Structure 1
Amino acid sequence: MSNTTRSKPNKPDARAKLLDAAFSLIRAKGYCATSVDDLCREAGVTKGAFFHHFKSKEELGVAAANHWSEMTGIFFATAPYHDHQDPLERVLGYLDFRRAILQGEVREFTCLVGTMVQETYDTAPAIRAACEASISGHAAKIEADIAEALARAGMKPDWSAKSLALHSQAVLQGAFILAKANGGAEIAGESIDHLKRYICLLFNRS
């Protein structure tokens, strides 16, 4: 996800600055390696300001996941793939859009909630739940287009629209891991291309 998703109020308060700092640092260093001191330094606020807004780093992690959902929701809601009348074209356009925003450094396009949940799924249940809600909520929006595409094609497969929508997120999160391992976006883009071909095969779309 590009930095277009970062919050940009005219005069950001300490809380907004800390959330923006979380977006940047956690995607670059990971949740566990990011300290409260790091967050305060990046945000340009005091530790007193941090603890005024958040009781702990875990509470900030939950808030960051929720804020990520809000900001990315706005970002994707205004994307051009929604203009397609054909629901399958919207799904394929979504994948094209995801590929197009693989820009900049790895930390700039990877997913905050995907990064956090890998580290905290067993140690911070509240963060895990917030990350799951973010990923599942995003998948649900794609699920609606997949379901409409199935209905339009008269297809009744032994898999569900929900399962394919979640699979798309699994591929995207895996693509981000490959990008981190390889230090660049190329391999992530290839993974999205494979996913697009797979969906075309499912719908017999050439």
Structure 2
Amino acid sequence: MTRGPLPRLVTERLVVRPPGPSDAARVARYWRANEAFHARSSPVQREEFYTDAFWEERIPSLAAERRRGESLRVFLFDPREERVLGHASLTRITRGAFHAANLGYSLDRRAEGLLAHAFGPMGLHRVEANHLPSNRRSAAVLRRLGFRREGLARDYLLIDGRWQDHVLNSLTNREWIAPGASPESGRPPRRGAGRPSVRGRRRV
């Protein structure tokens, strides 16, 4: 089961939380509005993925996955929680000897809060994130968050009609330091801390 309290992050401009049943239409609208943009860097989705009906069924299953400790998916809402502005996820959560997960995101800066939850309440040891070699924005996002490049996976995903390579990256809990944490903790500062935030790629 998922460890720790249900994440809910609130800033002046955003509310970051898992989706509820009443969010189905807002979530579907977000994916529809960004379909063409995401198609350049993400796998093709079925047509029903962009419908309200799909998310009316999908959101309860996401909650079940969260309770079982299999994944954690959050959406970024405007302050009134009327519009979805982005998405972030921890998927393929593996316990046992690994304690690892895969990070996906639409807007990078809020990934810091999700990583803090992953390495804190969830007790994960390792988070992985991958991107297209041509996606320099995503590479910069991960570098700023402290991820290290591990290698290249050839023909990793079918994107935009062809199999494409992906750069493999990872971050471990001993390398992570939460924003604002005191350096007196003895943990090294995050690599790339202080770099400006940029938009990253999406993985569903």
Rg: which structure is higher? 1
Q: Same fold (TM over 0.5)?
A: no
Higher helix share: 1
Q: TM-score range by the shorter chain?
A: under 0.3
Higher strand share: 2
TM-score by length of 2: 0.28
TM-score by length of 1: 0.28
